[in-house]
Amino acid sequence: MASATKEIAIEMPPYFRLFTDGTIERLPPPINTPPSDDPDAAVRSKDVIIDPDTGVSVRIFAPRHRAPPQKLPLVVYIHGGAFCMGAASSPPFHNFISKLVEKGNLIAVSVDYRLAPENPLPIPFDDSWTAFQWIAGHADGGGADPWLNEYADFRRVFIGGESAGATIANDVAIRAGVRRFGGVEILGIFLVHPFFGNKHVDKVYKILCPTSSGRDDDPRLNPAVDSRIREMPGRRVIFFVAEKDFLRDRGRAYYEGLKKSEWSGEVEIMESEGEGHCFHLFSPNTDKAAAITDRLLAFFNAT
């Protein structure tokens, strides 16, 4: 139990309590789905540590083995959880990516960044950028992981995530555009129920990132004001928002800001009526959750 002397800054039951001193109490015990490299399974998965110094890892998903290997679109996925919860192995994220890989015949890499507040922002952003650089290092077929060398088509790369993961993914995409990795072509960016800023201080973000204003003048919380936005790669960006999501208007604000920015790609948006934040992860068998999956797969195929 938390000390009686500690002041709760934010309480989000049944997920966590965040205290004004920057500590956190995660309420439910973590549940993890182990990877499975069964060659006969519809989707195989494995965990790879990419930075022994920090412990940052990725979970790689691939469809059933085919001989000879077939080059597949590559999806780089960054999970949500308010920057302070979750993992690539958490069942909602693992199951969502497994479904995309099976239905879309693609290969995916889910980033397992270090969590705040133990690792204050921007550490989760930087960990994800480190992971992307490691992934991009396979573009010439000489990387450390054989699955990426054999199966990933680095001319068909997509970056995205949901909630806080969408915020991080957008930052990674901008950095990738500035860096411009040889042999890597990012075709699209997908932002599902994204966590962006508005005119008011976001208390959670401010505690997790004390150097930020916590408002939409922070380029990570409002990438439309980032001077590097013109360099962001991809031909299209797709936003997913939900009618009853408290972050809905923030997602729409960045959608409108991106359309007016110096970025030259196409922007589209899909709204799920009557639904709340990340409902598709917790009620994956509903028609509206299936609609998100289907729209994403169409986005990958059309871009």
Q: Which of 163, 212, 261, 272 is catalytic?
A: 163
Closest CA to 171 of 109, 220, 234, 121: 220
* H-helix segments, 37-163: 91-104, 123-136, 146-151
Residues whose CB is less than 8 angstroms from the CB of residue 93 and which lie 6 or more positions away in sequence, other chains included: 77, 79, 80, 86, 87, 110, 281
Q: How many CB atoms lie within 10 A of CB 117?
A: 20
Do you find a cis peptide bond into 117, omega within 30 degrees of 0?
yes
Q: What is the amino acid identity at position 216? A: D
Q: Which of 94, 202, 245, 261 is catalytic?
A: 245
Residues whose CB is less than 8 angstroms from the CB of residue 281 and which lie 6 or more positions away in sequence, other chains included: 92, 93, 96, 162
Confirm whether 280 is a catalytic residue. Answer: no
Determine the straight-line distance between the first and last CA of the chain, rounded to whole angstroms: 49
CA angle 70/72/76 to nearest 5° reads 150
Confirm whether 36 is a catalytic residue. Answer: no
SS3 28: coil
Phi and psi at residue 282, in whole multiples of 5°? -100, -15
Q: Which of 79, 138, 193, 277 is catalytic?
A: 277
Residues whose CB is less than 8 angstroms from the CB of residue 192 and which lie 6 or more positions away in sequence, other chains included: 160, 161, 162, 163, 166, 240, 278, 280, 292
In terms of residues, how long is the chain?
A: 303
Q: Per the structure block, which two tokens stand in for 181?
A: 């990795």
Q: Catalytic residue numbers?
A: 163, 245, 277
